[in-house]
Amino acid sequence: MYPARFEYFAPSSVDEALSVLERYGDEAKVLAGGQSLIPLMKLRFASPRALVDLNGIDGLDELYEDNGMLNIGALVRHKACERSDLLRKRYGVLADAAPQISDPIVRNRGTVAGSLAHADPQGDWGSALLAGGGQVQVRGSDGTRTISLDDFFLGPFTTALEPTEIVTWVQVPEPGPRSGGAYFKLERKVGDFATVAVGVHVSFSNGKVERAGIALTGVGPRNLRAESAEQALAGHELDDEAIGEAARLAAQAAEPRDDARGSAEYKRNVVRVFTERGLRKAAERREKQ
Amino acid sequence: MTETATEQAVYTKQLNVTVNGQARSAAIETRLLLVHFLRETLGLTGTHIGCDTTSCGACTVLVDGTPLKSCTCFAVQTEGSEITTVEGLAPAGGLHPVQEGFHEEHGLQCGFCTPGMMLTATALLAENPNPSETEIRWALSGNICRCTGYQNIVKAVQYAAAKMREGS
């Protein structure tokens, strides 16, 4: 199973990478972990003329907090997130999602930013990061722009990224001291895509919900935010009634389809159950801080 | 004719890597997958091609000590790396403790998944010399055995772990 021929570039800086993209436009693809792109190229769903491998660029594998923002570089692998104490302590929704992505060998290689750029509606990072209020920093030859993930995902495998741009950083606002999150995923077996998954992140203030982020995987043409459920929670205590209502609204926001992984009705119900569990877990994790 | 030569140059790279401790160099097509480089260019057929879709782990090799699926990596990406395949596990004239474990605990039936299993296990033990059964199963969850031999594979890794702790 050979991919079509391509010119290979291994730039040592983002600027150098951008100059290749300028030259080839939409005939070039950016390669980070390659765990989605290489399978696509082997199947010839993608046949770029040029491949721009980011792996030789220094500094893009960093994961750190700075100025109120968590920064995840374009070469941060799923495995680094799985092992990060910082994520475990402060970003429950991300820490939960990381070890549930694909399998351990793929996680050694695949990246967070690459997963977002691939924009598979069944991708886990999209929902985990939407719940956390995430955004991407994108570099083009004209400079840097920031795109919220809400605006970044346009549809299945489609993003707001221009062919001449690179996602250099993924960012999540630092949660306040009283916050918690969780990611629940149902998969048929290790390495399968989600039948359904739900990411939840809640910040509290004076015992009430200040901001709730709820996002759904595998039940729509892109990672979906359950905005009505988020809004219903804001300003309220996270009691049984509020949790039940938010779970109902999240299930309503889902756009599931019947497929080999389950019926639409079943998936909608899993959204409800996972939203409820996610919110309870988020509250529990807040208590522990 | 000159066009063909130029074309070839564009799609070809000189690759320099260390495979099982030996420096290897070859002019390869950029689209050559690492697994094909190992099997066809170098003739190291111990690395198997199973699913060819990043699912089964039969083609797992170590690149700078980290397991990766060699069907999902271009050989050109490994420039300057140290690669370990199953052929590089054993010291001369002996068996690696992981190989001994698979032998002693009947950790294989057909053997097709075994090279990938052993390399993943080797990387696990390098990092965690005394893994629990859960940690072993978790680490091996990207490697599929179709003979359903997981019970003995786990025992094989436990055997190797004990043996390596003894030796160290």
A277: CATH = 3.30.390.50
Where does a domain end: B63, B88, B113? B88
According to the 3-state scheme, what is the secondary structure of chain A? CCCCCCEEECCCCHHHHHHHHHHHHHHEEEECCCCCHHHHHHCCCCCCCEEEEHHHCCCCCCEEEECCEEEEECCCEHHHHHCCHHHHHHCHHHHHHHHHCCCHHHHCCCEHHHHHHHCCCCCHHHHHHHHCCCEEEEEECCEEEEEEHHHHEEECCEECCCCCCEEEEEEEECCCCCEEEEEEEECCCCCCCCCEEEEEEEEEECCEEEEEEEEEECCCCCCEECHHHHHHHCCCCCCHHHHHHHHHHHHHHCCCCCECCECHHHHHHHHHHHHHHHHHHHHHHHHHC
Query: Does residue A141 lie within any of the structural domains?
Result: yes
Residue A155: strand pairing partners: A158
**Quick check: B13 contacting A, CB < 8 Å?**
yes
Identify from B34, B39, B55 which residue to disrupt to test chain A contact, counting A C-beta atoms within 10 A and taking the largest count: B55
The secondary structure of residue B96, as a DSSP letter, is: -
Q: Are residues B84 and B109 in the same domain?
A: no
Q: Is residue A1 part of a domain?
A: no
> Given A126, A146, A173, which residue is the final one in a domain?
A173
Alpha carbon A52 to chain centroid, angstroms: 22
Q: Are residues A159 and A207 in the same domain?
A: no
Does residue A246 sit in the same domain as residue A185?
A: yes
Name the residue in chain A with its Cα closest to that of B135. A104
Provide the residue-wise pLDDT of chain B in tens; the chain has 168 residues.
455 777 778 999 999 999 999 999 999 999 999 999 999 999 999 999 999 999 999 999 999 999 999 999 999 999 999 999 999 999 888 999 999 999 999 999 999 999 999 999 999 999 999 999 999 999 999 999 999 789 999 999 999 999 999 986
pLDDT at A287 over 60: yes
Alpha carbon of A252: minimum distance to chain B alpha carbons (Å): 33
Domains held by chain B: number: 2
Amino acid of residue B102: F
Instruction: Please indicate, yes or no, if residue B81 is contained in any of the structural domains.
Output: yes
B interface test, pick of A83, A103, A118, A187 with most B CB neighbours within 10 Å: A103
| CB spacing of B73 vs A109 below 8 angstroms | yes
Task: Based on the fold, state whether residues A195 and A246 are members of the same structural domain.
Answer: yes
A108/B139 CB distance under 8 A:
no
pLDDT in tens, B103-122: 999 999 999 999 999 999 99
Minimal Cβ distance to B52: which of A1, A8, A190? A1
Interface test with A, best of B72, B135, B141, B145 (most A CBs within 10 A): B72
Lateral strand order in the sheet of A28-31: A7-9, A50-53, A28-31
Does B131 reach chain A within 8 Å, measured CB to CB? no
Nearest CA in chain A to B33: A2
Asked if the C-beta of B11 comes within 8 angstroms of chain A's C-beta atoms, the answer is: yes
**In the listed set A173, A198, A215, which residue is the last one of a domain according to the structure?**
A173
Interface predicted TM-score (ipTM) of this complex, two decimals? 0.95
Does residue A115 fall inside a structural domain? yes
* Range of the structural domain that residue B56 is part of: 9-88
One domain, residues A202 and A111: no
**CATH code for the domain of A33:** 3.30.43.10
Distance of CA B150 to the CA centre of its chain: 18
Distance (Å) from the alpha carbon of A190 to chain B's nearest alpha carbon: 7
Helix or strand run (H / E) with residue B82: strand B82-84
Q: Report pLDDT digits (tens) over A206-254.
A: 999 999 999 999 999 999 999 999 999 999 999 999 999 999 999 999 9
pLDDT exceeds 90 at position A1:
no
Together in a domain, A87 and A155: yes
Smallest Cβ–Cβ distance between A105 and the set B31, B53, B142 belongs to B142
Decide which of B58, B88, B118 is a domain's last residue: B88
Residue that finishes a domain, picked among A173, A188, A223: A173
Per-residue pLDDT of A161-186, as tens digits, reads: 999 999 999 999 999 889 999 999 99
Whether the CB-CB separation of B43 and B35 falls below 8 Å is answered with no
| Amino acid type, A143 | G
**DSSP letter (8 states) at residue B87:** G
Report phi then psi at A44, rounded to 5: 60, 25
Number of domains composing chain A: 3
Same domain for A214 and A277: yes
- Residues 6 or more apart whose CB falls under 8 angstroms from that of B92 comprise none
pLDDT band at A37 (very low <50, low <70, confident <90, very high): very high
> In chain B, what residues touch A42 (CB-CB under 8 Å)?
33, 52-53, 71
Same domain flag for B18 and B54: yes
Domain residue limits at A81: 63-173
Look at the block and give the residue holding tokens 């698979």: B102
Q: Which residue of B has its CA nearest to A56?
A: B77
Task: Please report whether residue B2 resides in a domain.
Answer: no
Q: What share of chain B is helix, strand, coil (3-state, %, to 5)?
A: 45, 15, 35
List Cβ neighbours of A111 (8 Å cut-off, separation of 6 or more): A32, A33, A74, A75, A76, A77, A78
- Would the pTM count as exceeding 0.90? yes
Q: Do B26 and B66 share a domain, yes or no?
A: yes
B106 shares a domain with B57: no
Task: Check B142 against A35: CB less than 8 A apart.
Answer: no
Instruction: Give how far A40 is from chain B: nearest CA, Å.
Output: 10
Residues of A in contact with B73 (CB under 8 A): 34, 38, 109
**Do both B16 and B82 map to the same domain?**
yes
Calculate the CA dihedral of residues B46, A32, A222, A183 and round it to 10 degrees. Answer: 80
For residue A102, list chain B residues with Cβ-Cβ distance below 8 A: 142
Rounded to an integer, what distance in angstroms lies between the CA atom of residue A153 and that of residue A144?
A: 18
The rounded distance, in Å, linking the Cα atoms of A62 and A73 is 5
CATH number of the domain to which B32 belongs: 3.10.20.30
Tokens 């010399």 sit on residue: B129
> Tokens for A210?
């200040």
Place of tokens 């050979």: A2
Overall average pLDDT of the A37-51 stretch: 97
Give yes or no: residues B22 and B48 share one domain.
yes
Q: Pseudo-torsion of CA A209, A215, A216, A222, nearest 10°? A: 160
Are A108 and A137 found together in one domain?
Answer: yes
Distance from C-alpha of A216 to C-alpha of A222, rounded to nearest angstrom: 9
Q: CATH number for the domain including B110?
A: 1.10.150.120
Whether residue B108 is found in the same domain as residue B53: no
- Chain A residue whose CA is closest to B74: A38
Give residues with Cβ within 8 angstroms of B167, minimum separation 6: B97
SS3 B74: strand
Which residues in chain A are contacts of B67 at CB distance < 8 A? Answer: 104-105, 108
Which of B49, B67, B88 finishes a domain?
Answer: B88
Report if residue B1 sits inside a domain. no
